[in-house]
Amino acid sequence: NNITTVFADKAASRIVGGKIIDISKCGWQVSLQTFGQHLCGGSIINDHWILTAAQCVLDGHAETRSIRVGSSKHGSGGDLYNITKIVKHPKYDSETFDFDIALVRIDDSIKYKVCSTRPVKIIEEGLETPVGTLVQITGWGAEQAGGPDYPLLKETWTPIIEQEICKERYANVGRPSKVTDRMICAGFEEGGESSCTGDSGSPVMDRERNLIGVVSWGLDCGSANYPEVFTKISHPEIQAFIKENILY
């Protein structure tokens, strides 16, 4: 794995390694699409709202976006919904990916199905995911940096690492160099399995099936020494943003 100091535009965006998983195992996973093409992942919060990364909806154009739910393939199956509203975190910083979180509202109530479509459970505010905990990332991202999206849903498990180690690793690397309190990091020392392009916005789950993170950024895809960085869902400012906006 060549370690490069160039960040992919959509930093953490594909599942590298990992294995194919059926949507029945993670019915909250959605594909956020633009002009009918897979762009990012997301999670069903309730029957009208999807949680994703702010970097996925930067232009704010709801009319060109749609959401596919309830399918293991991003290109077919399940149900497709139009987006009527996009709400990015007001503090989102596109240089550092701080506060990389957004909500999108769809035009109709999601039809829940026991085997394929259901809302995610969000981790409680202030709860820390212990270092070493294996967390699950799912998505349709590329198999390698710069590659095409993968047609079938995949999963990988990767361990949470210490925040201070994560900060040190990224301290001297280009942009975005700042690992903040709104972020949580995971990865193996030897690199390998991780998320990649097309996975941004996708859910990061603990073994109790709590949503603990949203895929945000990283260096290359699955690079050794450079962990993946997720938006931290238990952070009070992230929790407040979600709770305040899904009321409307």
4 pLDDT more than 80: no
Query: Rounded distance, CA 157 to CA 128, Å?
Result: 18
* pLDDT of the residue at 69: 97
Task: Pick the range with the lowest mean pLDDT from 4-13, 104-113, 160-169.
Answer: 4-13
pLDDT digit string, tens, across residues 63-98: 999 999 999 999 999 999 999 999 999 999 998 999
Choose the most confident range, by mean pLDDT, from 61-65, 81-85, 146-150, 243-247: 81-85
- Parallel/antiparallel/unpaired status of strands 203-205 and 134-139: antiparallel
Contact 235, 213 (CB under 8 A): no
pLDDT digit string, tens, across residues 25-72: 999 999 999 999 999 999 999 999 999 999 999 988 899 999 999 999
- Per DSSP (E only), the strands in the chain are 19-20, 29-34, 37-44, 49-52, 65-69, 79-88, 102-106, 121-122, 134-139, 154-159, 183-186, 203-205, 210-217, 228-232
Query: Rounded distance, CA 218 to CA 176, Å?
Result: 9
24 pLDDT more than 70: yes
Q: Which domains does the chain have, with CATH numbers?
A: 27-119+237-247 (2.40.10.10), 121-234 (2.40.10.10)
Choose the most confident range, by mean pLDDT, from 2-6, 95-99, 175-179: 95-99
Contact 190, 3 (CB under 8 A): no
Retrieve residue 211's tokens.
Answer: 């949503």
pLDDT digit string, tens, across residues 215-240: 999 876 656 678 899 999 999 999 99
Q: Which of 189, 194, 188 is nearest to 213 (CA)?
A: 194
* pLDDT of the residue at 219: 77
* pLDDT of the residue at 242: 98
Q: Which of 180, 234, 209, 231 is nearest to 52 (CA)?
A: 231
Q: Is the pTM of this model over 0.85?
A: yes
Query: Rounded distance, CA 88 to CA 38, Å?
Result: 19
